[in-house]
Structure 1
Amino acid sequence: MLREKLLERRKRQLYTWIGLPLVAVGGWFYPWLGFLLLGCMLGAVGLSFSRGRAWCDWMCPRGAFFDLFLSSLSAKRSTPAFFRSWPVRIFFLILIFAVIGVQWYLNWGNIPAMGLALVKVLTVTTLVGVLLGLIFHPRAWCLICPMGTLANLFGRGKKPLLVAPSCVGCGVCSRFCPLKLQPHFFRQQGVMGDGDCLKCGSCVAACPRQALSFGEKSLSRQVGSVRL
């Protein structure tokens, strides 16, 4: 079951990763391609209202690229905890939107220049993501990605991962999670209160006790105990 799940996910990512070089490389020659980035941003946030960070699983071209091409090169170390702290995440969120806002303000009405501004942001953040992926784990950037942060905020509690009492805390789920989250830490609560879950289902397929599943249980009582 695990093998089939991982292969299915990989096949989907093989279709979407191409969007990254299309914009990050092609955008320097055809700046209007930069506006495709807006579609990705809207997709991540829009889908979060019903399915949490599901967009970031395989629909995000950059996330797919990281999974496909950095996995064999990454040191696969644990990402420092401060990366997921809200001050750091909000800083990157404000920084990225401020950079785009200033560039658009200075070039308002100049469509190629506005598109190129998006291409530049995508290129720089992707290079940072590759560096982090090599030093830590492939998806390290996704922990501070501004769109991921918004999807976390807006998608909290949507299609939550349920943790059954049969969970023994073995940690196998964490080994197969793209973001190295730890569902077994929430076995006492019965539901994973971590908004960064990508809903990929890898942990569900990997659990030897079949203790994980996706459901609709409310997370309202878990918000205060979310691990960041």
Structure 2
Amino acid sequence: MSLRDRASELVDGVRSVTAGERTKRLVERVRRVRDGESWFDKRGLDTIRRRPVDDDSIERRRRWQRFLGVAFVGLLAAAFWYPLVAGVGVVGCAAAAVGVGAVRGRFYCNHLCPRSGMLDGYVRLFSRGRRTPDWFKHPLTRAAVALTAFGLLGTGLHAAWRQGGSLGVPFLTMLGVSTLVAVGLGVAYHQRAWCQICPAGTLSHAVHRVAEALGRDSAPRVEVDADACVSCGRCGTVCRQEIRPGQYAEGEVTDHGDVFSPGGLEGSTREVDGVVDHADCLQCAACVEECPTDALSLDEE
């Protein structure tokens, strides 16, 4: 049976089901396949016609990531010789993440963080590309990691102060240990797994949520065209934060909660209207580049 015949049968079957506006859109998509107007290539459903991608933009981004990665390695090397450099680096990066988070969400984490450049530019080459467990992204896990990191740092600084030692050593220890953990997670799962529990990222997330609650959030959002989205799920496979942008096309989503969520830490199900308003979105546009139907867009202005 030809593709046209199969599509015609599917149209007839779908038309017999009443499931609201979503069913109507599904019927329209199948009709496009039947009439040759779809984004599917005429050779079959498995040959998706991809829209042109700005290769120069991608290459510039990769060069920037490699530069950040080299800069981070240089920071580590300098910190081993002069531990106070680690203190300046840790405090500076955390302050930048929080400051940018107040107005741009987690923009810093993808575009300016030196460690993210190392993870994307180099660790990516050795990563297994696996999703992390659900508990890994739970707010309690993130809070536990942040409290442990800051608690140990505070204890180390207090001990160094009392003993007259270098205040840079606790920062160096924190920077070195967290980098080893980040690389290990990047190889075992995907290169940015650490970013899901990074203490600085957690602070940025919290500040962003406060800005949202106060109505002062101006972070760019990925938008989903529900008519163009075919629910292929490819956007979710490339998201560094394991968000599934396609699910925001219409209907309802359930996010991991936080203290600002109506459902508390357990999260809650809410209606969405085509805007990916997830507070952990890195605004990297990887999902936009991967979308085969041009259903996603990101206004970075």
User: TM-score w.r.t. structure 1 length?
Assistant: 0.86
Change (3 A) 1:57 1:112: farther
How far residue 2 of structure 1 moved from its aligned partner, in angstroms, is 5.1
2:152 matched to which residue of 1?
A: 99
| Preserved contact between residue 47 and residue 53 of structure 1 (Cα < 8 Å) | yes
Matched to 1:113, the amino acid is S
Does structure 1 conserve the Cα–Cα contact (< 8 Å) formed by 2:161 and 2:167?
yes
Tell me, in whole angstroms, the C-alpha distance in 1 between the residues paired with 2:122 and 2:169.
Answer: 25
Question: Are residue 32 (structure 1) and residue 84 (structure 2) matched?
Answer: yes
2:112 matched residue in structure 1:
59
What does 1:13-162 correspond to in 2, within 5 Å? 13-34=65-86, 35-108=88-161, 113-156=166-209, 158-162=219-223
Percent identity of paired positions between Structure 1 and Structure 2: 32
Paired residues, number: 216
1:184 is aligned, of 224, 228, 246, to: 246
Amino acid across the alignment from 1:108: W
Seen in structure 2, the aligned counterparts of structure 1 residues 138 and 111 have a Cα distance that, compared at 3 Å, is: farther
Give the number of the structure with larger relative contact order, counting CA–CA contacts within 8 Å between residues 6 or more apart. 1
Deviations 1:149-180 (A, max 9, x none): 12122224532222222222212222332333
Is the contact between residue 66 and residue 122 of structure 2 (CA under 8 Å) also seen in structure 1? no
Give the corresponding residue for 1:194.
278
1:36-91 Cα offsets, whole Å, 9 max, x none, are: 22111111111011111111113111111011111121111111111110000000
Unmatched runs of 5 consecutive residues or more in structure 2: 1-52, 213-218, 251-271
What is the letter of the counterpart of residue 236 of structure 2? S
Instruction: Give the TM-score of the pair, scaled to structure 2.
Output: 0.67
- 2:237 aligned with 1:175, yes or no? yes
Aligned to 2:44: none
**Rounded Cα–Cα distance in structure 2 between residues aligned with 1:161 and 1:114:** 42
Distance 1:19 1:112, change over 3 A: farther
Q: More deviation in 181-190 or 19-28?
A: 19-28
Does 2:268 match 1:206?
no
Q: Cα 1:132–1:115, aligned 2, differ >3 Å: closer, same or farther? A: same
The answer to whether the 8 A contact 2:126-2:187 is kept is yes
Residue 25 of structure 1 and its aligned partner are, at CA, apart by 2.9
Secondary structure of 1:71's counterpart equals: helix
Secondary structure at 2:242 match in 1: coil
Larger radius of gyration: 2
Partner of 1:181: helix, strand, or coil?
A: coil
Q: How far apart, CA to CA, are the structure 2 residues paired with 1:133 and 1:205?
A: 22
Q: Which consecutive residues of structure 1, in runs of 5 or more, have no partner in the other structure?
A: 217-228
Once the two structures are overlaid, the 10-residue window that deviates more, 182-191 or 172-181, is: 172-181
- Residues 9 and 79 from structure 1, CA distance in 2 versus in 1: closer, same or farther, beyond 3 angstroms? same
